[in-house]
Amino acid sequence: MKRKIAKQKAIPKVEREYDGDFTHSISTGSTLLDLAISGGRKRGGGLPGGIFVEVSGLESTGKTVLLCEIAGNIQSDGGESLFRDPEGRLNKQFARMFGVDFEKLDYDTCNTVTELFKTVREWEPKNVKIINGIFADSLAALSTDMEMEKEEGDKMGGRRAKEFSEGFRKVARQILDNNYLWVSSNQLRENMNPTFGQSKYDSPGGRGIKFYSSLRLRTRLIKELRDERKFAGKVVKKPIGIRTEVKVIKSSVWKPGNVAPITILYDYGIDDIRENLQFIKDYTKNTMYMVGSRKLSQSMDESITMIEEGNLENQLREEVIDLWEYIDEQFVIKRKSKH
């Protein structure tokens, strides 16, 4: 979306009929990504229960952060989370940053595909009337039983692909019936022999993962974020985070193709305030950051401080939703019904 929206004293509000049949959802931690996923089905969008989500991307593009943000939001909403970590990288300090109570998290490492699906089939959260979460970080790190026993690699990935397909067939109805939200990360790997129409990169695990995914998100690094400080007259630069882009490449939740930028700070997580402020400034003619009719600053950092000190996060989020809906409405195809 490159076009500018006309300057307004207040964000225009659209009277909108949502076509969704879910009343509850879990936030990804990013307002813009929530909207990109299901903004046309529910005000504010988000992730419904009863689906499997694949988050794929190259290394260091925010996949694990996204999983942790969602896990923390499920816990905050009263749900339970089953977290399997084949790579064994999640730690209490990192999880706590996203509001994840590690003591209440059903956490363990996991070696094989069959072990993961067995755990899912046997999992019994206390309250299935709310959204409970299943997380695996990452699917690409899982082995097969044959590979573990014979200490031989599955060179063609055939056995692992079959085990994923078999596993999903067994748990698909369980995920839907129990309203589980299953979110897994997966690495992107170079497709050595792409055929016509295929991407240069693909996620491993066979067609089963792609087929059973209700939602597939793909992360792409936009840029690394660095800050600098002066010490004894010398400039010191340090990495503080990344700005990444998340694209909806498949969706049965709403419609595919939407893209959302996300800022991730290493010591904070997803910086939703920063992206929300920038979104309003980009798509209005405001010359400075604003919330409502209140002028903040031309400095992003100062504006963020003013938002937090004034407890204006929810007001800012509601204005972003209003503006996003107004923009999205301009792209609605209004045609005579065929029936």
| Same domain assignment for residues 315 and 257 | no
16 within domain boundaries? no
Strands in 51-57's sheet, in edge-to-edge order, are 106-108, 81-84, 133-136, 181-187, 51-57, 215-231, 234-251, 259-265, 269-270
195 within domain boundaries? yes
Q: How many domains does the chain have?
A: 2
| Same domain assignment for residues 286 and 212 | no
Phi, psi angles (nearest 5°) of residue 251: -155, 130
234 within domain boundaries? no
173 within domain boundaries? yes
| Same domain assignment for residues 204 and 297 | no
Q: 300-309 and 313-329 helices cross at what angle (nearest 10)?
A: 120
| Same domain assignment for residues 137 and 195 | yes
| Alpha-carbon span 78 to 74, nearest angstrom | 7
Structural domain boundaries, residue 321: 271-330
Cβ–Cβ < 8 Å for 280, 290: yes
| Alpha-carbon span 59 to 178, nearest angstrom | 32
- Of 60-69, 153-162, 216-225, 244-253, the poorest mean pLDDT is in 153-162
316 within domain boundaries? yes
DSSP state at residue 61: S
| Same domain assignment for residues 131 and 249 | yes
191 within domain boundaries? yes
Q: What is the pLDDT of residues 271-297, one digit of tens each?
A: 999 999 999 999 998 899 999 989 999
**pLDDT (0 to 100) of residue 194:** 61
Count of CB atoms within 10 A of residue 297's CB? 15
| Alpha-carbon span 14 to 77, nearest angstrom | 28
In Å, how far from its chain's centre is CA 112? Answer: 24
CATH number at residue 92: 3.40.50.300
| Same domain assignment for residues 159 and 217 | yes
> Strand, helix or coil at 63?
helix
**pLDDT (0 to 100) of residue 107:** 95
| Same domain assignment for residues 198 and 281 | no
Q: First CA to last CA across the chain, in angstroms?
A: 32
Q: What is the pLDDT of residues 216-239, one digit of tens each?
A: 999 999 999 999 999 988 999 999
Instruction: Name the residue among 29, 30, 131 with its Cα closest to residue 74.
Output: 131
Which one of 124-128, 259-263, 284-288, 329-333 scores highest in mean pLDDT? 259-263
